[in-house]
Amino acid sequence: MPAKTSLDLNDPVSIKGTREFDAPVELVFAAFTDVKHLSQWWGPNGFTTTTSHFEFREGGTWRFVMHGPDGRDYENRVTFDIIEPNRRIAYHHGGGDDGEPIRFSQTVTFEDIGGGRTRIVWHGVFPNAEMRDFVIKEHGAAKGLQETTARLAGYVATMMRS
């Protein structure tokens, strides 16, 4: 059975994926807009979610704790930047005084593909392009370092020239 979720692995520091659902776009969007729905499906397998604050508007935040199967809790804070009903949601993680990895942005687009079906595309990026490029290059380099430090030097030499 082929994977239902397609992931773009060309860019090692972004999180990009596409998925099609057999449901109309209004219904899929609704699943994202209400905590009552979100708590039913958001999170990796084995996780449950407790929401302390949810305000689905531009500038509003969603604060929640993800309870892992290992008993650990993970604090989350999401701020909604753009909300276009049935089309697009953009948000970012972290900020403020919580322990979330800072400055990671995510966009989710919704597309009516006909026949009562919907395509979702999610894309997460570092907002700072230089930081992102650095992680791409050094990340590749770091993997090389595990085998040989010479490879790392090669990567960086290329990086310095570019």
Q: How far apart are CA 154 and CA 14, in angstroms?
A: 23
Q: Judged by CB under 8 A, which of 31, 35, 90, 125 binds another protein? A: 31
Residue 84: count other Cβ atoms within 10 Å of its Cβ: 12
Alpha-carbon dihedral sign for residues 112, 23, 123, 11: negative
The CB-side HSE value for 125 (13 A sphere, CA atoms) comes to: 12
Q: Give me the 105-124 binding string for another protein, x by CB under 8 A, dash otherwise.
A: ---------------x-x-x
Interaction between residue 60 and another protein (CB under 8 A): no
* Span between the terminal Cα atoms of the chain, in Å: 42
Task: Summarize as ranges the residues that interact with another protein (CB under 8 A).
Answer: 4-5, 7, 12-13, 15, 17, 19, 21-23, 27-28, 30-31, 37, 40-45, 68, 72, 74-75, 94, 99-104, 120, 122, 124, 128, 130-131, 134-135, 138-139, 141-142, 145-146, 152-153, 155-157, 159-160
